[in-house]
Every structure is written in C-alpha cells, then in structure tokens.
Structure 1
Amino acid sequence: MNKFAILGLIVVLVVAAWAGIWFFVSGQIRQQVEMLAMADGETTPRLTCGDLEIGGFPFRFSVTCNTAEITSGDLTASLPAIDMQALVYRPTHLLAAAQGPAQISDAFTGNENAIAWQSLEASLQLTDWRIGRFSLVGEEVEWNDTLIGSDLIASSPHVEVHLIDMADHHQPDAGLASLAGYAVANDLAVPLAGIGSGEVTLEAELRNLPDDLRALDAPDLLRRWQQSEGELNLISLAASDGEDTMAADGTVRLTDSGLAEGQITVQSNGLIERFATAIPEPLRGMVMGEATDEGGFTQTINIRGGVVMIGLLPAAMIPSLFAASP
C-alpha cells in the first residue's frame, strides 16, 4: 500500500470518527431537550416542541424547537420557534434566536398577552458551568394585552439586557457567584402611564447565586440564595420622559421565611403632576415624599416582612417566595 493510499485511509477514518462523535453528541442533545418536556412545569419549567430539529453537521450543533410551549406555574408561553446553536470547537458559547410573537397566558388571573418583536437574539458564554456573560437584545419590541382585542401596554424599538460575571466575587469553595446586570429600553412608550418617548436604564447586582448554571432551575433556588446571604443590590434605576425623571437605588434580600426585606430610595421630578389624577390630594405629599431644593421629591420605600411601605403608607404585600423551614 503506497503512502497516498495510507493517507486516504487515515482521512476516511478521521472523517468517520468525527461523524460518529457528532451524531452521538447530537443524539444526546435531542435526549436532553426531550427530557425538558417531562418536567412538571411547577417546580421546574417545562418545554415542549411540536417538532424538534437537530442539524449543523459537521462544525456546529443547531437545535430548532418549532411550535414551542414553555410552562412555569400558572404561566404558559407559546412561540412559533426557538433556535439555539453552538460551534463544535466553541461549545461554551451558545447563541439563540426566537420567532415571535409570544402568546402568554396566566391560568390564575386569566390574563392574556402577546409580545412581538422584529428580532430577538441571545448569547450565553460559560466559564466551566458559570455564567460568564448573558446578553439578550430585542428590536421593535411590542407588548399587548390581548384578553379583549389588543391594547398596547408598552413598546420600544430597542431593548437589551446583560448579565456579567463578577469574577472578583466568585467563591469557588462555597460554589457561589455574583452577576452584574445592565438593562436599557430606548424610546419607550407606555400609554397607560402617559409615557410617549421614555428612556430607562437599570444597573444592579445579584450577589451569591449558585456558580453552576445547572443549579439555577432547582426548585429550592430562592431558599438556597437566602441561606447564602444573597441580595439584590439596585445600583441605579433611571427613567425619564421629557423633563420628568425618576431615579432609585437600594438593596433587597429575603428572610429565612421567604419574605422580602430592604430599602429603596426614590428621587423624582414631575411625577406628582403626571399622576395628579391617580393620587388623591391628601395623599400626594405622603406618597411622593419630601420636596427637594431642586423642585423634585425624595421618598424612601421600606420593605419589612413582605410589606411595602411608601413613607408611612402600606402600599403592597409581597407574599413569601418559599415556604418556611419546618
């Protein structure tokens, strides 16, 4: 056998081995996706596909879930298709895109909504199984109430959300990681709030989450987060519509019985005039807080035992997010 024949045989064996590995891995991917349909939809979200396609041979893995339905508790979301893919030589960088609109129904309240978009793309980069960076970008996003007809709730030509690993706060021995979050919505319209062209930016930190992505769908995630002294640090929430502005910062955590605790400070300018008809005259000052020298207001929102207090007024009750330990 001459050297060219030997070389050809080697090439054939390599290609055959590569193909075998690819089809084996694609089979494992199909099995894992199909297992998502076996979840109960209560403690773990359930994903079902009307048709599941696995492709991308030879250099990538592409998963397309057509007629997708996601169930989590009372919420069900239906989408025409979800596409996910990763390159064979870069399996820790996942890309995804979804076709809209998403039809969302709430079995408890009976609400029905539709979220449409021109494009919706996501990217996930992993370090081992730790989230390195997650990004979600939507263009021409529109959210409508579809229970009776179609009423616009909110729309924005550009929305993006990012989660970035805070490497300095990683605790490998404890299995904990922290994420810095950033979100923005440009030219936001919310008709019911009288917002025609608003801008919203959010900066926050999620401290002491599990550092393994696979643990984030655990039914006791919130309990584990609380026990790890986890907290949501709202660094900055800034919103504006014309000359009307609002800014907030603060920290929220959970008690060992699953109740929210924390404090948020809110500065506003122009909101009292915007919501003059919604807040009775005797309560406006108590709701908006103290007047500032700049003509705005500052207010402190305290959350104790799940009770949200705006100044001295109880405004809402946040139920326990997990059952207390026996």
Structure 2
Amino acid sequence: MKKRIIILGCVVLAVVIAWSAAWVVLSGLVKDNIEQLANADGVTTPRIACETLNISGFPFRFDADCVNAEIVSGDFTVTTPGIRASIRVYAPTHLLASAKGPLHLTDNFTGTRNGVDWSTLEASIRLDNWRIARASVSGADVVWTDTLFGNSVIAQSPLVEVHLFDIPEQHNAEAKTAALAGYVRAQNAAWPGLTLTDASAEVQVELSGLPDDVRNWDNPLLLQSMQQAGGALKIVAIHATDAAATLDASGELTLDAQGFPEGQISIKSTGVAERVGPMIAEPWRTLVFGTPAPDGSYANQLNFHGGAISSGLVPIATVHPLF
C-alpha cells in the first residue's frame, strides 16, 4: 500500500512538473506573439504596443496584461492605461478581456481628439470551429468627451452593450459562409448637443455572407466575397426614444457588382426632425425625415441604388463604391 502511494505521488509530481514546464513555454509563446504585434505597419495591419507586457495566471489560465497600450491603425491612434486578455486552459476558444479607462482617440488626419471613460469595460468572445458563437462588450458609466479643448461631454450612458450571435441556421458549410445577429443597447443616455436626456436606444441587425472562419476576415477582398455570396445587412429594428421623441428604422442593404449599396431604409419618427432642426437645414431635413402627418409624426424611405441615395424618387446624395 505504501509503495502504491509513493508511486502515485511520483506520478502526480511528474505531471505537475511537466505541466509547469509546458505552461512556462506556452506563456513565452503567448508573450512573443503579442510582442510581434508591435512590428505591424499600422496601415494594412493595426500596430499594438505595450509599455509593459506581463503573462500570469498559472496554472490554469493565461492572463496577458498590456500596460499603457497604444493601437495605431491608419490615421487613428488609441491609447489606454491597460488591457487584460485571459484564456482558460479548459476553454481555449473563449477569450475574456477588460480594459482600464480613460481611452484616448486621436485622428491625425482631421486633428480631432476624443476620450472615452468608464467604470468597467468587459468583453467576451467565444469561437466554435473558428466561427463566432458569441461576442459581447459591456461598459458601465460610459462617458464620451471631446478632449481637443478641455473635456466637453459629447454623450454618456450608465450602460452600453454590444452583442454578436451566430445564426446557426444560416451557416453554409459548403460555401463556408456564416451569418451574425447584432444587438446594441444604451440605457438612460444623455447627449447635450442634441438636448437628449434619459434616452434609450436599441439596435438589432443581421449580417450574412461572412466567411465562417474569422481568420479570413482580414482578406482585402472580403466585401467582394460577401457580395458574391449574396450577403446582406438587414436592419431588423432601430428604436430610440426619450421623453419627447421617438425614432424607428428598418430595412435591408446589399452590395451590387460595382460595390454600391443597394436597398431601402424606412424611417419613422416623432419629435426628431424638430430636435435636429438647427443642424440639418431645409430641404435636407424634409428629404431625410419626410413631411409631418396631421398627428406630428414623420415617415420616409431612403433608397440606395447605383451609387445614389434617394428620398423616395428624389436623389439627395451620392456614395462611393465600397470595393
């Protein structure tokens, strides 16, 4: 009996030592891969650099802590005090992440500077055979400011959520395409520039024709492949409201062979045209929202075709092809 216990103890010790060595090797690989992101050109591929990068979480997690992170993509530069990403050994396809605020965004082309702060910001991404099963981002006490001259609040909300869900019935294994449902919600939001207070908004969309392998999403021909696969952006519902106004929209957009948006978006509103009056001069306000009905409500349809946006049959703007 004593001999068996000794043998069992030796086996357990060997496993612990082997896993400890494997964890050290794997954590080194994780660190090397993250550090390689700092060598990207920041144009075709975003460049992500950390002032300090630490890997922890032994024995069952890999926690990557990026202190004073900087992300550069084209003209945009984003900085944040810290980003943490975690993967558990027993759930390797499920990424958990969080970030510290405030985030600073600089557009070097326009010169604009914005800041976003929060009390908590958490994200979760779960993959199923390299297809997104679910992705979520949730922020509490979110405040968006213009930091070019001081700190002027643009908008704020105690809760902002963004979710993506796989739509299994639209997965085409033969064509290797997938579809995602998106849901965005903001509660009790305020936007001083639009005199919005205690406003709430919900957005529900569906996007089809996506590659079912997220590793192919950086393909420069992504939009062309989605167009050829019959992909579409379906605006299931947009609903926004505050004490004095409501806005509802729905519709569907595809891309034609030349890369121009094709489809319609229907808009219904009450009190919104009056709210944005100082910012959208006539006749554009009427061309977007329509003419008021006897009850004060507005309804209109925006049509996209051949590179033009029309209000009913009246052309009001042009758009560039997306590919």
Q: Which bin holds the TM-score, normalised by the shorter protein?
A: over 0.9
Q: What pairs with 1:237-248 in structure 2 (closer than 5 Å)?
A: 237-248=238-249
User: Matched residues in 1 for 2:45 and 2:61: separation?
Assistant: 28
1:210 aligns with 2:211: yes
Q: CA deviation at 1:51?
A: 1.2
| Residue segments in structure 2 that go unaligned for 5+ positions in a row | none
CA apart distance, 1:60: 0.8
Is 1:50 matched with 2:62? no
Closer, same or farther: CA 318–35 of 1 in aligned 2, 3 Å: farther
Residue 46 of structure 1 and its aligned partner are, at CA, apart by: 1.9
Displacement of 1:32 after TM fit? 2.0
- In the other structure, the counterpart of 2:80 is 79
Structure 1's unaligned 5+ residue stretches are none
- Secondary structure of the residue aligned to 1:219 is coil
Structure 2 residue aligned with 1:144: 145
Tell me the distance in 1 between the aligned counterparts of 2:3 and 2:288. Answer: 89
TM-score in terms of structure 2 length: 0.93
Distance 1:46 1:169, change over 3 A: same
Assess, with a 3 A threshold, how the Cα gap between structure 1 residues 317 and 120 changes in structure 2: closer, same or farther. farther
Q: Who is 2:228 aligned against?
A: 227
The 8 Å contact of residues 177 and 208 in structure 1, kept in 2 or not, is answered as yes
CA distance in 2, matches of 1:43, 1:306: 26
Alpha carbons of structure 1 residues 124 and 281: separation in structure 2 relative to 1, 3 Å? closer
The 5 A counterparts of 1:27-66 are 27-66=28-67
Distance 1:312 1:144, change over 3 A: farther
* Cα displacement (A) at 1:294: 4.4
Measure the CA separation in 1 of the matches of 2:281 and 2:48: 46
In 2, Cα distance between equivalents of 1:287 and 1:219: 33
Relative distance call for 1:204 and 1:27 in structure 2 (3 A) is: same
> TM-score when scaled to structure 1?
0.92
| Matched-pair identity in % | 43
Structure 1 match to 2:177: 176
Give the drift of 1:89. 0.8
Specify the SS of the correspondent of 2:39.
coil
**For the residues of structure 1 that align with 2:251 and 2:210, how far apart are their CA atoms?**
19
Q: CA deviation at 1:212?
A: 1.1
Alpha-carbon distance, 1:236 to partner: 0.3
Moved more, 217-226 or 190-199: 217-226
Match of 1:67 in 2: 68
* Greater mean alpha carbon deviation, residues 26-35 or residues 240-249: 26-35
Displacement of 1:279: 4.4
SS of residue matched to 1:14: helix
Q: Report the counterpart of residue 128 of structure 2 in structure 1.
A: 127
Aligned equivalents of 2:237 and 2:167: distance in 1?
Answer: 17
1:200 paired with 2:201, answer: yes
User: Mean Cα displacement is larger for which, 284-293 or 8-17?
Assistant: 284-293
Matches of 1:227 and 1:76 in 2, distance apart? 33
Asked if structure 2 preserves the Cα contact closer than 8 Å seen for 1:103 and 1:113, the reply is yes
What is the DSSP-based 3-state SS (H/G/I as helix, E as strand, rest coil) of the residue aligned with 1:29? helix
CA positional deviation for 1:30: 1.6
Question: How far apart are the structure 1 equivalents of 2:47 and 2:257?
Answer: 28
Q: Is the 8 A contact 1:122 1:136 kept in 2?
A: yes
- Letter aligned with residue 127 of structure 2: L
Q: Would the aligned equivalents of 2:288 and 2:302 in 1 still touch at CA under 8 Å?
A: no
Q: Which moved more, 1:305-314 or 1:231-240?
A: 305-314
Q: Distance in 1 between matches of 2:282 and 2:210?
A: 43
Deviation at 1:217, TM superposition (A): 2.7
Moved more, 240-249 or 144-153: 144-153
CA RMSD of aligned residues (A): 2.0
Assess if the C-alpha contact under 8 Å between 1:65 and 1:83 holds in 2: yes
Counterpart residue number, 1:259: 260
Alpha-carbon contact 1:159-1:183 (below 8 Å) kept: yes
Residues of 1 paired with 2:56 and 2:90: CA distance?
16
Is the contact made by 1:44 and 1:219 (CA closer than 8 Å) also made in structure 2? no
Cα distance, 1:292–1:65 mapped onto 2, change above 3 Å: same
Cα distance in 1 for residues equivalent to 2:314 and 2:191: 26
Aligned partner of 1:163 in structure 2 is: 164
Q: Which residue of 2 aligns with 1:108?
A: 109
Please list, as runs of the form range in 1=range in 2, the aligned pairs for 1:285-324 lying within 5 A after superposition: 285-292=286-293, 294-311=295-312, 314-322=315-323
CA distance in structure 1 between the partners assigned to 2:136 and 2:155 by the alignment: 21
* Cα separation, 1, equivalents of 2:256 and 2:9: 67
